[in-house]
Amino acid sequence: MSEPVIHTDKLTKRFGDFVAVDALSLTISSGEIFGFLGANGAGKTTAIRMLTGLLAPTSGKATVAGFDLYTGAEGVKRNIGYMSQRFSLYDDLTVRENIRFFAGIYGLTDQAIKEKSRQLLETLKLVAVADTRLASLPLGWKQKLAFSVAILHEPKIVFLDEPTGGVDPVTRRRFWDMIYEASGRGLTIFVTTHYMDEAEYCNRLCIMVDGKVAVLDRPEAMKRHFGVESMNEVFIQLARPHRTE
């Protein structure tokens, strides 16, 4: 755990009268797996959009990957990776073409792209299907590829927005293996999920309720604090009384 990769101080986003994210203060270190949870409409998506430089904050301070969110949004974008549930790969391109395309987007040179593609195909054991269209591959492979592509440009941090939604239990766990390995190499992981067992795989968790941080701690400490057995119970206890819409 070294210098913070994400640091926010009272980061706030308003839409008119509505405060979508209210004074979010976080410090996330390099290599940390940080879980970001909350009910629908609790402000998760807005927070992620701010942290990825897609949405300008209303007030508060924030640096991501060493860049200020207000002045260095381009620098932020260059140093982060992003993957969502509907992993942004192209189904009608082959594995190799997908890698090539995304590497190109991140501005890698032709030589680097060739080298990276070769490496990636080997480590992911996708050499045999390199020229197969993505559409015909099993979901688990696509997911692996999507994650690898999201971190192809060696970002400092990767945002995973419900990366395992609708995925079978085995594939889900294989995906978490990849997350652990990447975190071991020093990549910071910022992940959202609706699976509460996955919440327990995170180093630290933040639960958002109505735009505010309701609790931010290690999963074990949270369970101890609420005197319950699982994260699911923590979540339900926290989110329920505040639900007013």
Partner 1 sequence: MKEAVLIAGVGKRFGEVQVLQEVTLSVGEGELFGFIGADGAGKTTLFRILATLLLPDEGRSEVLGLDVVRSYRDIRKRIGYMPGKFSLYPDLSVEENLRFFASVFGTTVEKNYELIRDIYSQLEPFKTRRAGKLSGGMKQKLALSCALVHRPEVLFLDEPTTGVDAVSRKEFWQMLGRLREQGMTILVSTPYMDEAVLCDRIAFMQEGRMLALDTPTGITTLFRKPLFAIRARETWRLLCALRASSHAASVYAFGSALHYTDNRPAVRADELLVALQADGFTEVSVSVIQPGIEDTFIALMEEKQGSDHV
Residue 189 has phi, psi (to 5 degrees) of: -115, 125
Binding segment toward partner 1, per CB under 8 A, in 8-16, 37-45, 46-54, 65-73: 37-45
**Beta-carbon contacts of residue 134 (< 8 Å; ≥ 6 apart):** 89, 90, 91, 92, 93, 94, 95, 98, 142, 145
Shortest reach from residue 115's CB to partner 1, in Å:
28
**Beta-carbon contacts of residue 215 (< 8 Å; ≥ 6 apart):** 205, 206, 207, 222, 225, 234, 238
Site size for partner 1 (CB under 8 A) = 36
Shortest reach from residue 201's CB to partner 1, in Å:
6
38 binds partner 1 (CB under 8 A): yes
Residues 157-216 that bind partner 1 (CB under 8 A): 162, 165-171, 173, 176-177, 180, 184, 194-197, 200-201
Closest to partner 1 by CB, 38 or 57 = 38
Closest to partner 1 by CB, 1 or 170 = 170
Shortest reach from residue 142's CB to partner 1, in Å:
11
Task: Indicate the pairing of strand 157-161 with strand 80-84.
Answer: parallel
Closest to partner 1 by CB, 114 or 240 = 240
Binding mask of the shown chain, residues 85 to 124, with x at each position contacting partner 1 by CB under 8 A: ----------------------------------------
The encoded tokens of residue 89 equal 């790969």
Binding segment toward partner 1, per CB under 8 A, in 17-25, 36-44, 62-70, 106-114: 36-44
Shortest reach from residue 64's CB to partner 1, in Å:
25
**Beta-carbon contacts of residue 180 (< 8 Å; ≥ 6 apart):** 33, 201
The contacts found for 94-99 with CB under 8 angstroms, 24 or more apart, are 94/130, 94/131, 94/132, 94/133, 94/134, 95/121, 95/126, 95/129, 95/130, 95/131, 95/132, 95/134, 95/137, 95/145, 96/121, 96/130, 96/131, 98/134, 98/145, 98/149, 99/145, 99/149, 99/152
29 binds partner 1 (CB under 8 A): no
Question: Of the candidates 105, 127, 139, 221, which one interacts with partner 1 according to CB under 8 A?
Answer: 139
Q: Which residues bind partner 1 (CB under 8 A)?
A: 38-42, 139, 162, 165-171, 173, 176-177, 180, 184, 194-197, 200-201, 219-220, 230-232, 235-236, 239-240, 243, 245
